[in-house]
């Protein structure tokens, strides 16, 4: 569980770095990369918490 939390944190930080690069350079590829990283991080986090909730219910 701790490993998963660290992975989510690092992925969110990498998305922030990509958005900072986009703000600094104006290159659209950094914005696109940041959005993709953010999207998949949120999907993984929602899945992880759904599993935790289902374990509590069962």
Tell me, yes or no, whether 36 lies in a domain.
Answer: yes
Confidence of residue 58 (pLDDT cuts 50, 70, 90): confident
CA 10 to chain centre: 8
Q: What is the DSSP letter of 15?
A: H
**What predicted TM-score, i.e. pTM, was given to this entire model?**
0.84
User: In which domain, by residue range, is 47 found?
Assistant: 26-58
Interval 7-45: pLDDT, tens: 999 999 999 999 999 999 999 999 999 999 999 999 999
Tell me, yes or no, whether 37 lies in a domain.
Answer: yes
Number of domains in the chain: 1
Tell me, yes or no, whether 51 lies in a domain.
Answer: yes
Confidence of residue 1 (pLDDT cuts 50, 70, 90): confident
d(CA 1, CA 30) in angstroms, rounded, equals 30
């Amino acid at each position: 569980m701790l490993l998963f939390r660290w992975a989510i944190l690092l992925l969110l930080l990498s998305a922030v770095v990509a958005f900072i690069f986009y703000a600094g350079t104006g290159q659209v590829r950094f914005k696109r990369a940041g959005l993709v990283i953010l999207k998949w991080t949120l999907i993984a986090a929602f899945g992880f918490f759904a599993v935790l909730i289902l374990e509590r219910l069962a």
